[in-house]
Amino acid sequence: MKAISQFPGCVLFALAVVATTTNAASEPITKDLQVSYDSPIVIQQGAATITLADFIAFFEWRVPEDQRRRVLASPARIEGLLESAVLSSGFLEKVERSDNWKDPVVQARLYQAAAREARAIYADQLRSEESLDSYETQARELFMLNPERFTSPQTIDFEHILIMDDGTRGEVALMTEALQAYEALAETPFDQVAAEYSDEAAFEEHGGKFANVSLDDLVTPMAEAARGAELNQFSAPIRSQFGWHIFRVTAINEPEPLTWEQAQPLAEEMARERHMSEIFERRLRELSSAPMQFAEGAVKSILDHYGISGFEMSPPADDDDGSSQ
């Protein structure tokens, strides 16, 4: 059951999840989860109300940390996230009003969703509580013992022509121009062809020539083509969301060892992650240290639920138990 009390610009939210199951003695038990919070209202649509806390939780679940500032710089993307959050809230409202809401398995699915999220919340809590003020000592040790782990990425030098899809030309016109540029490169120097055809930003400054670029910094279709490209051979036109690309790799720059000053930020982050992983694994062992007690007939009740009479059955033809999905 969910109850919402509205105050000026604020919502008090409460959600109760009750799932009936059995304990080790085969007696029914009730698992009860209470969630409540108050937060200022951000948006409402019909019966769905999204608070600031709702948006933060949804945003941090959907958007990786290293992308959040870029997403928040776009009003359109914020609006899209709010719309998605409203839809999710609307689905919750519909399920609550349905006959399925009281089904123990439905309630247990909600409970297990909260349990999965609790693992991530607990990991964040550990990071906040157990993280050291400085990891420089541990980082220096990592750097000295494993210097091969601290190298610059492999980079390439390349020449590039972009036939940009700016929305003013149809796909056929874009493809035709890309093919014309590609064919011209067989007889005309790159500089001339690029000057005539390339729509790349700041072309006057770089002339379509780039040095020491990591493949990770290229758009995906171009990066994939660059990995298998022959040196000094122009690629056939490649499509991306930006338009058509023609390029050739002119040099491959192998990784080089980093100095301590260059490696320090990475080494400290690696030391921090190793430390936190060790602490988390220790807590996992503490949680799993108690012996497991199976209720009488536990396995049979699971098999009965899925209509399986026992273990003496042929596996599916593809031998796929779905565990990899």
| pLDDT tens per residue, range 90-119 | 999 899 999 999 899 999 999 999 999 999
pLDDT at 178 over 60: yes
**DSSP character for 201?**
T
- Are 164 and 86 found together in one domain? no
Could you tell me the pTM of the whole model?
Answer: 0.59
Q: Is the pLDDT confidence value at 27 over 90? A: no
Whether 255 contacts 149, CB under 8 Å:
no
pLDDT score for 248: 97
Q: What percent of the chain has pLDDT over 90?
A: 70
The average pLDDT across 181-204 equals 95
Q: How far apart, in whole angstroms, are the C-alpha atoms of residue 113 and residue 106?
A: 11
pLDDT 10s digits, 61-98: 999 998 999 999 999 999 999 999 999 999 998 999 99
Closest CA to 13 of 82, 84, 92, 116: 92
Assess if residue 101 is contained within a domain: yes
103: number of Cβ within 10 Å: 12
What CATH number does the domain containing 212 carry? 3.10.50.40
- Write out pLDDT tens, residues 137-161: 999 999 999 999 999 989 999 999 9
Is residue 318 in some structural domain? no
In a domain, residue 316? The reply is no
- Decide the pairing of beta strands 238-240 and 2-7: unpaired
Q: Please give the angle made by the CA atoms of 81, 83 and 86, to the nearest 5 degrees.
A: 110
Domain boundary among 233, 253, 273: 253
Q: Which amino acid is at 1?
A: M
Same domain, 8 and 87: yes
Residue 58 lies in a domain: yes
Longest dimension (CA), the chain: 84
d(CA 185, CA 188): 5
Q: Write out the residue range of the structural domain in which residue 15 sits.
A: 2-127
Strand, coil or helix: what is 309? coil
Q: Does some domain include residue 258?
A: no
CA distances to 10, 13, 221, 241, 319 from 166, in Å: 43, 46, 18, 10, 49
Same domain, 98 and 200: no
Residues 122 and 26 in one domain: yes
Asked if residue 67 belongs to a domain, the reply is yes
d(CA 311, CA 297): 14
Cα–Cα–Cα angle for 228, 225, 148, nearest 5°?
Answer: 55
Q: Are 193 and 135 in contact (CB under 8 A)?
A: no
Q: What pLDDT score does 231 carry?
A: 95
- From residue 312, alpha-carbon distances to 294, 300, 309 in Å are 21, 13, 8
Confidence of residue 319 (pLDDT cuts 50, 70, 90): low
Based on the domain organization, do 7 and 123 belong to the same domain?
yes
Q: How many CB atoms lie within 10 A of CB 277?
A: 11
Residue 4: pLDDT band (50, 70, 90) is very low
Q: Given 253, 269, 302, which residue is the final one in a domain?
A: 253
pLDDT digits (tens, 9 = 90+) for 278-304: 999 999 999 899 888 888 888 888 899
Asked if residue 116 and residue 35 are part of one domain, the reply reads: yes
Mean pLDDT of the residues in the chain: 88
pLDDT band at residue 323 under the 50/70/90 scheme: low
Do 88 and 174 fall into the same domain?
no
Q: How confident is the model at residue 245 (pLDDT cuts 50, 70, 90)?
A: very high
Cα angle 123-125-128, degrees, rounded to a multiple of 5: 110
Average pLDDT over residues 220-243: 94
Q: Is residue 294 part of a domain?
A: no
DSSP structural state of residue 67:
G
Query: Is there a single domain that holds both residue 106 and residue 169?
Result: no
The verdict on 225 and 161 lying in the same domain is yes
Q: What is the mean pLDDT of residues 255-276?
A: 95
Domain assignment of residue 268, yes or no: no
What is the C-alpha to C-alpha distance for residues 255 and 31, in angstroms, rounded to an integer? Answer: 55
* Domain match, 123 and 175 both: no
Beta bridge partners of 58: none
Grade residue 26 by pLDDT with cuts at 50, 70 and 90. Answer: low
Where a domain ends, among 195, 223, 253? Answer: 253
> What is the number of domains present in the chain?
2
My answer on whether 17 and 122 are in the same domain is yes
The one-letter amino acid code at 307 reads G
156 and 107 housed in the same domain: no
Coil vs helix vs strand at 319: coil
